[in-house]
């Protein structure tokens, strides 16, 4: 028979997970709402340019 170990292996917490918000990076800080608003405005602008004769 196979030999049994009485050890319990506990998985490492956070193994392989990347934490994106822990380090501070240089550059402008933009709120997600601003990014969405700029994207919508740019989409509308492109739509207007596409269908204007």
The phi and psi torsions of 40 (rounded to 5 degrees) equal: -65, -45
Pairwise CA distance, residues 39 & 53, whole Å: 23
The phi and psi torsions of 18 (rounded to 5 degrees) equal: -105, 130
Residue 18's pLDDT is what? 63
Q: What is the DSSP string of 1-53?
A: -PPPP---PPPPTTTT---SSSS--SS----HHHHHHHHHHHHHHHHHHHH--
Residue 49: pLDDT above 80? yes
- Reported as a single tens digit per residue, the pLDDT across 7-33 is 666 556 656 666 666 567 788 889 999
User: Where do the structural domains in the chain lie, given as residue ranges?
Assistant: 29-53
31 vs 5: which has the higher pLDDT? 31
pTM, two decimal places: 0.50
Side-chain-side CA neighbours of residue 1 (13 Å): 3
Residue 43: pLDDT above 80? yes
Residue 50: pLDDT above 60? yes
């Amino acid at each position: 028979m196979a030999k049994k170990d009485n050890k319990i292996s506990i998985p490492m917490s956070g193994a392989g997970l990347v934490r994106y918000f822990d380090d501070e990076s240089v550059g402008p800080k933009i709120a997600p709402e601003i990014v969405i608003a700029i994207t919508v405005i740019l989409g509308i602008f492109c739509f207007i340019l596409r269908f204007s004769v």
